Amino acid sequence: MNAVSVAPTLTGPTTLTLTAGYAATSTGAYTVTGTPSPTVTKTAGDAKITWNDSTKRLDIAIGLTAGTYPVTVKATNSISPDATLDFTLTVNAVTPTTYAVTVNSGTGGGSYTAGATVTITAGNAPFGKVFDKWTTTDEVSFANASSATTTFTMPAKNVTVTATYKDAPVTTFTVTYNTDGGSPATIAPVTVASGTTIFLPAAPTKSGNIFKGWKTGNTTLNAGASYTITGNVTFTAQWAKTIFSTKYEATFLNWILFFVCFGFIWMWF
């Protein structure tokens, strides 16, 4: 008795997802039926995906990069219709492992992969401070630890870096005084930090003169006035002659006395 002819059927997995860098693998087994026994062939798809007639699986060799790979498999046995199955392999890109960078007193923190170049920048220095250097306990090597902006190569671990600051160098200026023949003859100069407010000395004295103030540039200030130092400065005493200087006071008084006496004598006689 002749066997009844039956058209082929082909059923089994239609999708598979792998991650780039996968090891060689195979799909699940397919079920193939029909009389006479069908022949299965791959009719379309990447050469790295092949039909294994012994295991009734699709074998997937290593080396496929991220992407989508459609495959068509057909079963035939001379009885129509042929059986066709479409299979799609998806290879996902590897999601890189990232590590955290925490930046204290600066910018550049975030998530980075091992080997990435990380750029960090120190924040504004507090008042009276300037940037000193970068520090860390996470064994990274800074391109220049003394630079406010620098880089390092990200290791395969989380990293914390810290910008440190030191006292700003103090800029000083010298304040000198010129009494211009007055007394005291000299006033000791003083050295003060930039931005310091000083108070000018008491008025010196000078025979036959009236003290008019301390002058610097085009500005004349009274004794005891405040002045903010922004550079080296010299204050010079300003003087104005009295109406009669001491040199001529005695002669003037003698003449006054003479005319008074002369007037009385004239009136008497």
Instruction: From 72, 92, 112, give the residue that closes a domain.
Output: 92
For residue 265, is it within any domain?
A: no
Instruction: Give the CATH number of the domain where residue 76 resides.
Output: 2.60.40.10
If asked whether residues 16 and 71 sit together in one domain, one would say yes
pLDDT above 70 (res 112) = yes
Region 139-150: mean pLDDT is: 97
If asked whether residues 161 and 203 sit together in one domain, one would say no
If asked whether residues 151 and 187 sit together in one domain, one would say no
Lowest pLDDT segment from 156-165, 182-191, 249-258 = 249-258
If asked whether residues 139 and 199 sit together in one domain, one would say no
For residue 217, is it within any domain?
A: yes
- pLDDT tens for 16-27 read 999 999 999 999
If asked whether residues 11 and 72 sit together in one domain, one would say yes
- pLDDT tens for 223-260 read 999 999 999 999 999 999 987 544 444 454 454 555 55
Confidence (pLDDT) at 252? 47
Report the C-alpha gap between 119 and 110 in whole angstroms: 11
- Residue partners of 150: CB distance under 8 A and separation at least 6: 119, 120, 134, 142, 143, 144
Region 200-220: mean pLDDT is: 95
If asked whether residues 12 and 77 sit together in one domain, one would say yes
185 CB-side CA count, 13 A: 0
Confidence (pLDDT) at 208? 94
Share of the chain above pLDDT 70, in %: 90
For residue 261, is it within any domain?
A: no
Rounded to the nearest integer, the mean pLDDT of the chain is 91
Instruction: Give the CATH number of the domain where residue 201 resides.
Output: 2.60.40.4270
For residue 116, is it within any domain?
A: yes
The predicted model scores a pTM of 0.53
For residue 44, is it within any domain?
A: yes
How far is residue 254 CA from its own chain's centroid? 83
Instruction: From 109, 144, 167, give the residue that closes a domain.
Output: 167
Which neighbouring-strand residues pair with 51?
Answer: 58
If asked whether residues 181 and 228 sit together in one domain, one would say yes
If asked whether residues 157 and 191 sit together in one domain, one would say no
Q: How far is CA 238 from CA 11, 179, 215, 224, 247, in A?
A: 113, 8, 7, 14, 20
Confidence (pLDDT) at 128? 87
The answer to whether residues 75 and 10 touch, using CB atoms and an 8 Å cutoff, is yes
If asked whether residues 55 and 122 sit together in one domain, one would say no
| The amino acid at 250 | A
- pLDDT tens for 32-64 read 999 999 999 999 999 999 999 999 999 999 999
pLDDT above 60 (res 268) = no
For residue 253, is it within any domain?
A: no
Which residue would you say has higher pLDDT here, 267 or 75? 75
If asked whether residues 28 and 58 sit together in one domain, one would say yes
For residue 233, is it within any domain?
A: yes
For residue 62, is it within any domain?
A: yes
Domain that holds residue 211: 172-241
* Number of domains comprising the chain: 3
